[in-house]
Each structure stands twice: as structure tokens, then as C-alpha cells.
Amino acid sequence: MRVAIIGAGPSGLVTLKYLLAAEKTLGTKAIEARLFESETGVGGTFLARTYEDAELVSSRQLTCFSDFRCRHDEPDFISAKRYVEYLNEYCTHFKLWPHITFSSIVKNIEGREEGGHAVTYLYGGRQQTWECDAVAVCSGLHVNPSIPEVRGIEKVPVVLHSSRLKRREQFGVGKTVLILGSGETGADVSLLAVTSPTKRVVLCHRNGFHLAPKRNPNPRLIFARRRNPLDRPQVPIDVSRASLFDTIYVHPWLRNSNLLWTYYDYYVRWILWTSWGTTHGTDQWVGGKPKGWSTSEIQTPNTLESTQGRQIDLAPWPERIYENGAVEFRNNGRPEYARIRKEVIKPDIVVFCTGYTHEFPFLGKDRCNPQYYRDKLVRDIWPRDDPSIGFIGFVRPNLGAIPPLTEFQAQLWVLNLLSPDRVAGAPLLPEDEAHYRLISKTDSRIRYGVDHESYAYQLALDMGSAPSFGDIMRLGFSGVNDVNGKSGCWYKLPLTWALGANFNTKFRLVGPWKWGGALEVMITEFWDTVARRQMFFGHFTVSIAPMMIFGPVSLLVYLYASLCRFLQEI
């Protein structure tokens, strides 16, 4: 079988790796795989569209692929530059380089009458065609910057999209910078601008936003709010969630209800109130600060230290820009409008941090728009009428990371493509998809959001890669030693499995993609990650309390469902 892969970002590389591993792991025939990449190196977005000091918002513990881990002495959050290095090391380790064709632009993918696809691409100034049986679309190359209309924007001397921002020096000296967009990129670019020799930095948002810390803070009760300077950093927030009875072993009736979401909503509000005296967020003042308080009075010390006392001003979305270059902001009825409407702000630079719109022009006129595939993809991966085309990497998690989800997607797609009889959850029913989808507004730019933990576990169930309690106890008691050669660490695997997030390596212990090194990673790297949590705010509130609540609830639901089935059968 021949398979074409479009794009050498994390999605394309991990798909290529699993295609090449299928012969040995799944016992299939050898696969001839070829990856087409328009750039001269691997990395995708992390290579082509990052900026100075860019750092991953997801932790290395979650982001790294299951069987090729980052070094243990690296920080929790690595730079984008280091991540590109990691991807290069990944290619070398799994011998992917011979299968990658750089500087090749895919122009068209057309179905053949006899089956399969013809991939037309431009390479070395010549147009060539490669015929194959299946195609994995993993490309972020065919994306367009999303730039909303702002009347009078031409009055600003410099206007650019964040994709064109690479270095601090592009802000100039003594300039007023207006940043449009309050997502992850907007926050990063704002910090980059405020730590440059700029005059003023203003961040504009449309309908409000919430910025979460990258790691769990070390909370104190509101009557003991002083921090201990010796407190060690808490675990990254994306690996702070336990999985047992949260996503693992949850009856579908409970899984599909709002009970879990409601519990965590109240839990988060409670933890914020006990730690900061407000339910709106950590050190929150965006949503409306008390009368008489100035911004500087309630800025966090860490923020002031990192920006050397400078602050980022907040503003509503610009309504228009006048002939003299001054901005008129929308009246959103919030405190930031009441404050900033009295000022005259004339930006020298406007940076659109408004994301991208995806298109697949090589798929033809009818199928170039991702909206065409809405509600038509199995597990958001392949069309129900054509499993030979896979879309890998086009979901966006809430608190999580895209690369590990692309690994799950690649595993399931390759398994279904080459050995469909081994898909444990077949047929993959649409009713098992709603529980992991995030609700979005009809006018939202991003409508493909998923809950990271729920989506990961669903794909693991589909592949038969989700270990049972018996599997975990058997592996835990198998006499495995720790890294120092000492026996008796049997308890580490069950505890890490129950208390840890849905790391991708957790689902390499059993199943079709079983990997011999998974157990060691679980009892070393992931054990250390779980053990770093604080006892009360880390283990009890996030792990033990939910288990004590939802464990019995799930058991009762299972018993009730079993009784209902029994009564129906008699």
C-alpha cells in the first residue's frame, strides 16, 4: 500500500512514524509512505510561524510523543525552537528522513477511477504526480491569516498579522502598539511588546476572555495569603487532572450528562474564592475591579517583575480609526471602556492576533472548505464514506495539547486503514462523540474544540488501548523495578494511572500499539509529575474528592443500567 502525507508538522511526522511501524507492530504488509513538505525543514507552524521567545503553552509531559520523551532535566515548558529540535530528533530516532520530500508543494489530490488517489505536486520547478492508495492531510500550510475588517485601518503606519511578527525589533522604539485578539498568541505578543522599548501596549478583545495560568498556583486561604518564597513550582495545569471516574470508568449516562462539568465549575469557583477572594479568576481585575482601586494596585508581583513595572492596557474591540489615526472603541459596557474612552490612542503598529482560516485547495472546489466535513467525519478524522482520507491534527483541545491528540488520531486512522478488524470499538458510533465536543457559538471561528481528556480516552477505547483495572494490577505486580533497580514499586503504576492525566503513553501499555517502554515512563517521569502535586489543593481536591463522589455514582448507574437490561430481556 502507498500512502501520501501532506505536511511535516507534528501531525504529519507522527502519522508517518505509525505507518512505517505498522508492518512490525500490526503484522501488515510493508507500507510505502511519502511525506510532502513545502518548507525546507520539519516543524510546520512551530518552524514557520513562531516569534522571538515563543514558548509552548502545553507542558512537555503532555506534548511529547508517547515513545520519544523529552530529556528529564528540561523545564516543564520548552521553547518553540527547542520543540523544533525535538521534532528533528524524532525524525532521526525513527528513521523518517528518507520518506520526506522537502520543498514540494501539493497542488491537487484527485480520486482515481480504479481506486486510490493521484497526488500532483510541484518539486524543483516541475509538476509531478504520485499515485497512492490513501492520503493523510496533516498540513497547516494551506491556511490564510484571519484578518477582520476594521474601518480606517489604513490610517495606521504599520499593520501586520502575527504570522509576520518574528522579533522584538519589529515594534520599533517609543511606539504605541495595538494588539487585536486576546487568545494565546495575543497574550504572548502583548508580553513581547511590553518587554520591548515601546511607548504603550493596548490589548483589544471582542467579548471578554479568560487567561489561565500555565501551571497550578500554590494557593493559600484568603486569611493566609502570603506566599512562601521556597514553594516549589506546582505541576503544569494541563496534567493536573485525575482521570479515574472522571474520564475512565464513567458510565455513558453519566458521561453524557452535565454533572461532571457542573462539579468542576463549582470547584474552580470555590478554589478561586478561597485563594484570591474572587470567583472570576486568579488575581482577576479584568471583569470589573473595585471602586477606587487602580490597575497598579492589583497587578501581580510576578507580572510586574517580568515586565519591569510596565503594564498592558485593556480595551474593547476598535469600532473604527479616524483620519487623524485615533481609535474609537466599541462600548461594551465594561470598566475598560469607561476608562479608555477618555483617552486619545493613536497606534503606530497594529498586530492582528486573530488566528487563521483553514482551507484545503488541493482537494478541489467542493471539498476545500473544512466546513464541508462538519459532522461527516468519524471521530473528527476520516469521512464516513471514504476512510482512505485522514485529517490529522485539526481538533483544538481546551486544557491540553494538539500533538498528543494527533498521535491518538494517527494510531486510530492507521489501524482502521490497515487492519479495521482490530478496531475494538467498531462500529464507531456517532453517539459516542458528543461527550467530548466543546459547545461553540454559531458565529465562532473555531468550532472543532474537544475536551482533551475525554477525546483521548474515547480514541483509546476505540483502539482497545485503554487498560482495564486488572491489566494495571497485573502490570504493577509484574516485578518491575524502578530506575535505581529497587523492586517494590508496584504501587506507582496504579496510582499514576488513576491520579494522572490521560498521557498518551498511558495507552501504550496494552492494545495494538503496545510499547515495551511505556511501563518505565509511567513509573518514572509520570510518577514524578503526579507526586509533585500539593496534598490538599492538588491530590485531595482534584483527585480524591471527585473519585469519592463520582466513583459511587458511576457504580449506581452501572447497576441500574444492568437491572434495566435484565428486565428487558426477561
Does any domain span residue 541?
A: no
Residue ranges making up the domain that contains 207 = 147-212+283-352
Does any domain span residue 290?
A: yes
Determine the Cα–Cα distance for residues 176 and 198; give it in Å rounded to an integer: 6
Task: Report, as an integer, the average pLDDT of 449-470.
Answer: 93
One domain, residues 205 and 348: yes
| Structure confidence at residue 296 as a pLDDT band (50, 70, 90) | very low
Q: Residue 183 is part of a domain; what is its CATH number?
A: 3.50.50.60
Task: Report, as an integer, the average pLDDT of 152-175.
Answer: 93
| Structure confidence at residue 445 as a pLDDT band (50, 70, 90) | low
- Flag whether pLDDT at 225 surpasses 70: no
- What is the pLDDT at residue 33? 97
Does any domain span residue 250?
A: no
Question: Whole-number mean pLDDT of the chain?
Answer: 85
One domain, residues 206 and 306: yes
- Flag whether pLDDT at 134 surpasses 90: yes
- What is the pLDDT at residue 277? 66
Radius of gyration over alpha carbons of the chain, in Å?
25
Burial of 266 (0-12, 13-18, 19+ CB in 10 A): exposed
- What is the pLDDT at residue 547? 81
Q: Please tell me the least confidently modeled range out of 99-108, 232-241, 246-255, 554-563.
A: 232-241
One domain, residues 335 and 410: no
- Flag whether pLDDT at 483 surpasses 60: no
One domain, residues 21 and 107: yes
Q: Please tell me the least confidently modeled range out of 237-251, 299-313, 315-329, 383-397.
A: 299-313
Does any domain span residue 418?
A: yes
- Long-range interactions of 297-306: CB distance < 8 A, separation 24+: 306/191, 306/195
| Count of domains observed in the chain | 3
Sequence-distant (≥ 6) Cβ neighbours of residue 519 within 8 angstroms: 475, 480, 493, 509
Does any domain span residue 496?
A: yes
Q: Return the closest-CA partner of residue 119 out of 105, 127, 131, 133.
A: 131
| Structure confidence at residue 229 as a pLDDT band (50, 70, 90) | very low
| Structure confidence at residue 267 as a pLDDT band (50, 70, 90) | confident
| Structure confidence at residue 269 as a pLDDT band (50, 70, 90) | confident
Backbone angles phi, psi at 416, to 5 degrees: -70, -30
- What is the pLDDT at residue 189? 93
Determine the Cα–Cα distance for residues 480 and 165; give it in Å rounded to an integer: 50
Give SS3 for 177.
strand
Say what the pTM is: 0.88
One domain, residues 61 and 136: yes
- Sign, CA dihedral 316-317-320-324, equals positive
One domain, residues 24 and 93: yes
Q: Contact, 139 vs 6, CB < 8 A?
A: yes
Task: Report, as an integer, the average pLDDT of 215-229.
Answer: 56
- Flag whether pLDDT at 50 surpasses 80: yes
- What is the pLDDT at residue 287? 41
Q: Contact, 479 vs 493, CB < 8 A?
A: no
Give SS3 for 440.
coil
Cell 485539526: give the residue.
Answer: 394
